[in-house]
Every structure is written in C-alpha cells, then in structure tokens.
Amino acid sequence: MKRLVAIGIAGLVVLAIAAFGVLWFSPSVQDGAMKRTALGRLGSGDNSALLTDNSLHVFLCGTGSPMPDPTRANACTAVIAGGHIVVIDTGPGSWSRIVAGKLPAGKIGTILFTHLHSDHIGALGEFAVQSWIGGRVVPLEVYGPGKLEGSVPPLNSLGHAYGSSGTVDVVRGFAEAFDSDSGYRILHHGTDYLSPEGARIIGHEIARPAPNTLVPVFDKDGLQISAFLVDHHPVEPAFGYRVEYQGRVAIISGDTKRTESVELFSKGADLLVHEALNHSMSSIISEALTETDNLRLAKMVHDTLDYHASPVDAAEIARDAGVPMLVLTHIVPPLPNALARHIFMRGVAEARGDGETVLGYDGLLVTLPGNSDKIEISDLM
C-alpha cells in the first residue's frame, strides 16, 4: 500500500514538472495563461456599487505618516456616497490603495486638502493623471487652505519667502509639472480617449472659518462636506472635515493636537476618523536618536509631539462627544508587529469607555447605511 502511495505521489510530481516545462518553454501556452489571468482580473469588476447603495462609505487609502512604513501609504481618506468619490488628502503611495480597492478612478472629481504638508499632497499629480486616464472628462477640482497665516515666513538666499503658497499655487505647480505629460498622452491617444478638459486641475482656497464654525465645501446629490479649523500650529490654517449623507455623519480630523472643534463637531456623528501619534513611543525614538548622535532627527521627532493628538486624546474626544466608532489613522510611529500595536494602544480602552475603537489600516472600509444606526467594517483590499 505504501509503495502504491509513493508511486502515485511520484507520478503527480512528474506530471507537475512536465506541465511546468510546457509552460516555461512554450510561448503560446504562456500567452494563453496570461490572457486567462487578464480576463479573470478584468472580469472581477470594480466597486462602483459603493457609489449608489444609499450608504456613506469612508475608505482609508493611507494611514501612515512621513516616517517610512512599507505597510502604510501616507495620509488619504476617500468619501464615497451619492455617486461621488471625494478624496481627502493625497499622500505619497495612496493612489496604489485606490487601485487595490478597485474604486472607479474616473469618478474621482474632487480633492480636499486638510493642510499642505508633503505627506498630505504629494500624490496629487498621480491622482490627477490616473483619474483622467480612468475616464474623468471634467477638470479635477482641488480645495484646501490658503497661504500660511500667523507666522513670519523664512527666506532663502534668493529672497523667496517659504510658506507664501496656498492651495491655488500648489495646484498650479502640479499642473505645470504634469503639463508635458498631459500633452504627450493626448497626442498619442487622441482627444476622443483623453479629454483635454479632463487634464485640467483647478485649485480653490477655502475661506477661513471662524473658530468652531463650519464652512461648506462640497454639496452635491445629498453629500455635504464642510470644513472647520483644527490646531496644527504653526501650520495655519489647517482643516478637519464634517461629512454628511442620508442622516449619517463622519468626522475627519486632519492633523491636529487635541482641540475643541473636533469634539464639538463630532457630537451627533457616527464615525470619527482621528489622527494619532503615540507620544511616549515617539519620545523613546527621539531619545535613541540622541544617544546615537543623530541630533538633527532627534529634534525633528521630538518637535512632532506638540502638534499631534495621542491615541488616548482621540479616545477621550470620541468618548466625550458620544461617537459610536473611533478609527485611528496617520499612525506615528510605524507599528511593525503585534507588540508595537499593543504599546501604541496603551490606555485607549480605559479612556474610550463605551464605543468601538479601531486601529486603522490601509484598505479599511467603514460603511454607514443611510437613515440607520448600523456601522459596518470590511476590508476593500
């Protein structure tokens, strides 16, 4: 019996080797396999149904920070509802998460910036080009803060004042940087396939709200998004966003220390997506950098402590505002294993009280069905 089993296994091994040999050395078999793979992937469709299912969806397309983390793209949150995809921040690496989530690229028509740090705007060009290639035929509208306020801008040796650009200037710079790329593509593929109008990127600056007030930014097909001020000094102005659709409300904090406005506008909300920097872990990293004589990076890491909220801060805000679900994002520092994640969340459960808390990750989708109190979590990647 054992001999028969051994013979059978040996036969299967021989067949597998033979099949591999045919695949490896036969171009026609290789091409057939590749075509079947392509058809299978293309036939799997996309997640367009999320746009029309009468729910408010919040997709985390980037939960990282400027600290390198291979598991997280930089800041990006997509709001999906009422036939629209509105992307809040376009951090480096985040476009790949949109692709992995199989969101219909051509439906991305509006970008909102919380502020103009590089980890929140770096992939704007990629979003503009790829959503255009994906079928967008109207200009990409980009909204964000105006020029730096409340600080004396530093000068370089040529007399240029850094901080003198607002969202309009930033968008104009991206448009100029990608102008040649757009021209090449239109000439190559033709205007029937790539609309010259779709290649445009238009910047708009949001009027600075008064403290603890909302300024409407987006209002189409029942999806309403308003901006409010947060505290990310010396980055001023910096915004959070309140998102409303079919009786459901989500708050996106943007980068901020613990601030009254986030709690105020989170009252009555179903979901709070709040940034989180663990101060004790970051302090330890700063101390380690100091001990290895990397004083420059040690200071920069230490400086981040005074304009970011901690996980416990976010938990207390969600508790005091009565928000059913808190999702942490913009995770600092990177969390490479279960122990690091456990340390990062230290004290959160005690501070949170009632309500659910989720440590966010790239690909997380939170669904708020319209006119309901249900909250659903899934993985879109």
- CA torsion 302→306→308→313, rounded to 10°? 110
Alpha-carbon distance of 360 to 271, in angstroms, equals: 13
**3-state DSSP helix/strand/coil % of the chain, to nearest 5:** 40, 25, 35
Structure-token pair, residue 320: 């005091």
Alpha-carbon distance of 138 to 195, in angstroms, equals: 8
Alpha-carbon distance of 313 to 265, in angstroms, equals: 16
Q: What are the backbone angles phi and psi of residue 350, rounded to the nearest 5°?
A: -65, -40
3 state DSSP class of 326? strand
Side-chain half-sphere exposure of 88, counting CA atoms within 13 A:
31
Alpha-carbon distance of 226 to 215, in angstroms, equals: 5
Whether 179 is catalytic: no
Q: Which of 69, 119, 313, 362 is catalytic?
A: 119
Alpha-carbon distance of 319 to 131, in angstroms, equals: 38
Cα Rg of the chain, angstroms: 24
Structure-token pair, residue 242: 């309140």
Alpha-carbon distance of 194 to 202, in angstroms, equals: 17
Q: Which residues contact 169 (CB under 8 A, 6 or more apart)?
A: 147, 203
Residues acting as catalytic residues: 119
